[in-house]
């Protein structure tokens, strides 16, 4: 790793741009035959997809420049084709509703060096995809199966398209026939095998399987929070995988395999799985990933695969290893190596030669001095519930009476994990301790822990954060008079709630794309759906603890309705192209603050989305937050 060269000498703390701009590498995919690498690289702002030989010192084959285009996914379709998924924010003329984030998929032919839009020149169809395409080989020819939108009588229908990557011929394979179809699963021989449907009005999910006699309903279940979806092909390569709730234990979900005749079995131990691992070509389920405490655990069903993976992990002692991609024979692996002292880097492992070498650091310019120690912590909330989290401690400082930044995650049903986090590391590099609590409602700790967050926006989910502050103050680690709260998305809401609902804990608050008016957020979200009883609305109401959009209790926990209570400096940052939490949420908060005669600063990120996908505006956000913290909560 490049950072290792700095280990023996004193190094200055890296500039904020090292953390805040786009990482040097966003994705690395090895070709099916293990001979080539597709690497999505950036210069901090502009993106380039490079194709190079996998051998050490091998030459660059070609490069595709995407500029500021948002590159969302890269996948191989045999040795001669690379599929690329991008996204853009747009408001389509003639299509009802607000701006949306649209995905588009392309095929790059390594032989002809030409790039082609996957769904194009299709009558009465949009040229977008609803998810990344799936690759299948039929008689040795690579095909891409993509879900798109086809219009019948001005009504868009989810449609499955089949694209011959050799000839470019595209045809419709199946229409959902209604708004209910949300996903297809394609068999290894290129036939539609299963279909997932969701009835918004009834809150019911259905699984259809295509057998010899045509489509039959194999399962129908109440699922008020949304579709169960499809999770790929099963262990035998012919069955259909679906996650379902355990009828006897609401704290568990399990993975069920459905055969073509509708019979099914449960995958043993699946209630402990966090995600699934399929064969490199997607042909079958081969293992699963679980986060056990702070350990990243890979479980493979084949003993030989498990032995090989254990050897990979052993080659990087003390580091956290994640599987990024692998060749079809599973002997060449690209892994992400997260070092607690050097930061993350990609490495290539060859199981045939029993060798490993680093490919590239994820963050160029990151030195050992710029990587702060992260340690897991546990504490009790006021009601006795155990909360876990992570504390990043600034280098070169005695861990006593430190200034603290509370950095809650988004979701709210997300979670933080042990490892390198660019935002918390940037703040720690400036002298702050950073607390990332997995408050109630976070995923990964069982259904009962998620359920404990229902109805707790601005309530126990909020005090879980300040209980962490009190715990660290009692330990003497932080100075309780020098604490600020910063967050994005739900974390941004938590920052606003820290200024309005949980007063007296923080001396400043910064919200990035945080909801401020909960009723307005629900109203705007509803515009994306044809049904007013959609699962997204039900999901938000469940967490917010409201009976409906008109519930007056929404105002009680809406920071924009409580601006007169703010007594600390407040910073608002928001992207103009945010389609998840619209930009208006921050302007509503800013206007409310001004009406209340309270000082507020609003930083607008032009052409930025909810995920901070652009380097310049991501760095603008980080620079603004750090400047705000240093002014209102100096680290020294």
Q: Is 392 helix (H, G, I), strand (E, B) or coil?
A: strand
Burial (CB count within 10 angstroms: exposed 0-12, middle 13-18, buried 19+), residue 253: middle
Beta carbons within 8 Å of 255's beta carbon, 6+ residues apart: 231, 241, 242, 243, 266, 267, 270, 273, 276
Tens-place pLDDT, residues 227-270? 899 999 999 999 999 999 876 666 678 999 999 999 999 999 99
**Rounded Cα–Cα distance for residues 191 and 437 (Å):** 45
Whether the pLDDT of residue 549 is over 50: the answer is yes
Structure tokens at 264: 């099914």
Q: Is the pLDDT of residue 96 over 90?
A: no
CA atoms of 119 and 135, how far apart (whole Å): 15
State residue 4's pLDDT score.
41
Reduced to 3 states, what is the DSSP secondary structure of residue 425?
Answer: helix
Closest CA to 217 of 181, 169, 175: 181
pLDDT at 8: 38
Q: ω before 432 within 30° of 0 (cis)?
A: no
Fill in the DSSP letter of residue 372: -
pLDDT of residue 117: 93
**pLDDT for the residue numbered 94:** 56
Q: Which residues contact 443 (CB under 8 A, 6 or more apart)?
A: 411, 413, 414, 415, 450
Torsion of CA 130, 135, 138, 140, to 10 degrees: 150
| Residues 160-182 pLDDT 10s | 999 999 999 999 998 876 568 88
Beta strand residue intervals within 200-319, DSSP E: 204-211, 214-222, 240-245, 253-258, 264-266, 275-278, 285-292, 295-300
497-500 long-range contacts, CB within 8 A, separation 24+: 497/457, 497/458, 497/462, 497/557, 497/559, 498/406, 498/462, 498/465, 498/466, 499/559, 499/565, 499/566, 499/567, 499/568, 499/570, 500/559, 500/562, 500/563, 500/565, 500/566
pLDDT cut 90: percent of the chain above it: 80
Q: What pLDDT, on a 0 to 100 scale, did the predictor assign at position 250?
A: 66
Range 402-416 average pLDDT: 96
The values of phi and psi at residue 524, to 5°, are -65, -40
List of residues 6+ apart from 61 with CB closer than 8 A = 36, 51, 52, 53, 110
Kindly state the average pLDDT of the residues 59-81.
Answer: 95
The string of DSSP codes covering 588-599 is HHHHHHHHTT--
Spatial contact of 197 and 183, defined as CB atoms under 8 Å apart: no
The pLDDT tens digits for 577-591 are 999 999 999 999 999
CA trace torsion 413, 409, 335, 64 (10° rounding): 100
CA distance 77 to 168: 14
Report whether 132 contacts 73 (CB < 8 A).
yes
Going by the DSSP 8-state scheme, the letter that residue 277 receives in this structure is E
pLDDT tens digit sequence for 502-539: 999 999 999 999 999 999 999 988 776 656 667 788 88
Best CA proximity match to 361, nearest among 347, 341, 374, 378: 347
Dist CA 393 CA 435 (whole Å): 9
What's the burial of 593, exposed, middle or buried (CB within 10 Å: 0-12/13-18/19+)?
buried
Residues 6+ apart with CB under 8 A from 202: none
Confidence of residue 148 (pLDDT cuts 50, 70, 90): confident
Distance CA 408, CA 415 (A): 9
Distance CA 466, CA 485 (A): 10
Q: Residue 5: what pLDDT?
A: 39
pLDDT band at 567 (very low <50, low <70, confident <90, very high): very high
Average pLDDT of the residues of the chain: 92
Give tens-digit pLDDT for 424-450: 999 999 999 999 999 999 998 888 999
Question: Is the CB of residue 54 less than 8 Å from the CB of residue 593?
Answer: no
Residue range 297-330, pLDDT digits in tens: 999 999 999 999 999 999 999 999 999 999 999 9
Say yes or no to pLDDT of 2 above 90: no
How far apart, in Å, are the Cα atoms of 283 and each of 185, 186, 187, 477? 11, 10, 8, 51
Which of helix, strand or coil describes residue 585? helix
Write the CA distances from 39 to 61, 75, 425, integer angstroms: 12, 10, 25
pLDDT for 10 equals 43
Question: Which of 592, 576, 596, 593 lies closest to 584 in space, CA to CA?
Answer: 576
Cα gap 487→407, rounded to integer Å: 5
CA–CA distances in Å: residue 246 to residues 217, 233, 253, 566, 574: 20, 21, 5, 44, 40
- What is the average pLDDT across 261-289? 95
Contact 287, 234 (CB under 8 A): no
CA 584 to the chain's CA centroid:
23
């Amino acid at each position: 790793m490049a950072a290792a060269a700095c280990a023996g000498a004193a190094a200055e703390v890296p500039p904020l741009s090292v953390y805040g701009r786009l990482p040097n590498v966003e994705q690395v995919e090895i070709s099916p035959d293990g001979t080539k690498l597709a690497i999505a690289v950036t210069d901090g702002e502009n993106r380039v997809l490079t194709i190079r030989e996998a051998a050490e010192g091998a030459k660059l084959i070609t490069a595709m420049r995407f500029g500021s285009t948002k590159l969302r996914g890269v996948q191989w379709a045999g040795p001669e084709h690379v599929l690329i998924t991008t996204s853009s924010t747009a408001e389509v003329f003639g299509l009802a509703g607000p701006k949306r984030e649209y995905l588009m998929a392309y095929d790059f032919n390594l032989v002809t060096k030409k790039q082609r839009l996957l769904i194009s020149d299709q009558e009465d169809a949009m040229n977008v995809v609803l998810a990344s395409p799936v690759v299948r080989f039929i008689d040795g020819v690579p095909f891409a199966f993509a879900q798109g939108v086809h219009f019948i009588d001005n009504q868009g229908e989810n449609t499955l398209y089949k694209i011959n990557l050799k000839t470019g011929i595209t045809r419709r394979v199946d229409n959902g026939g209604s708004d209910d179809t949300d996903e297809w699963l394609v068999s290894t021989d290129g036939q539609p095998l299963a279909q997932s449907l969701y009835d918004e009005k009834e809150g019911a999910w259905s699984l259809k399987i295509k057998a010899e006699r045509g489509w039959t309903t194999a399962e129908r279940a109440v699922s008020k929070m949304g579709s169960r979806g499809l999770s790929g092909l099963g262990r035998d390569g012919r069955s259909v995988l679906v996650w379902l709730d355990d009828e006897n234990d609401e704290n568990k979900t399990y993975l069920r395999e459905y055969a073509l005749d509708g019979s099914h079995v449960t995958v043993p131990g699946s209630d402990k799985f966090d995600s699934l691992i399929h064969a490199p070509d997607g042909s079958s389920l081969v293992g699963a990933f679980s986060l056990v405490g702070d350990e990243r655990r890979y479980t493979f069903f084949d003993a030989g695969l498990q032995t090989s993976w254990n050897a990979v992990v052993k080659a990087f002692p003390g580091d956290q290893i994640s599987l990024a991609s692998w060749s079809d024979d599973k002997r060449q692996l690209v892994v992400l190596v997260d070092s607690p002292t050097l930061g993350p880097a990609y490495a290539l492992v060859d199981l045939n030669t029993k060798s490993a070498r680093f490919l590239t650091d994820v963050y160029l310019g990151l030195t050992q001095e710029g990587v702060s120690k992260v340690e897991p912590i546990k504490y009790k909330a006021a009601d006795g519930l155990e909360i876990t989290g992570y504390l990043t401690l600034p280098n070169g400082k005695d861990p006593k009476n430190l200034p603290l930044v509370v950095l809650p995650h988004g979701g709210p049903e997300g979670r933080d994990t042990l490892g390198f986090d660019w935002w918390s590391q940037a703040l720690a590099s400036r002298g702050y301790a950073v607390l990332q609590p997995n408050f109630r409602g976070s995923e990964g700790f069982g259904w009962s822990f998620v359920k404990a967050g229902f109805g707790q926006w601005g309530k126990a989910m909020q005090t879980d954060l300040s209980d962490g502050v009190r715990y660290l103050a009692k330990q003497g680690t932080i100075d309780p008079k020098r604490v600020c709260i910063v967050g994005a998305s739900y974390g941004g809401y938590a920052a606003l709630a820290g200024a309005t609902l949980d007063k007296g804990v923080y001396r400043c608050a910064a919200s990035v794309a945080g909801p401020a008016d909960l009723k307005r957020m629900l109203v705007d979200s509803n515009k994306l759906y044809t049904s007013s009883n959609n699962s997204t609305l039900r999901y938000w109401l469940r967490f917010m603890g409201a009976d409906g959009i008109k519930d007056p209790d929404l105002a009680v926990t809406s920071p924009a309705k409580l601006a007169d209570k703010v007594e600390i400096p407040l910073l608002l940052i928001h992207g103009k192209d945010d389609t998840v939490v619209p930009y208006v949420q921050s302007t509503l908060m800013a206007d409310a603050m001004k009406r209340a005669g309270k000082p507020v600063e609003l930083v607008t990120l032009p052409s930025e989305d909810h995920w901070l996908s652009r380097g310049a505006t991501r760095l603008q956000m980080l620079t603004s937050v750090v400047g705000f913290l240093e002014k209102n909560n100096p680290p020294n």
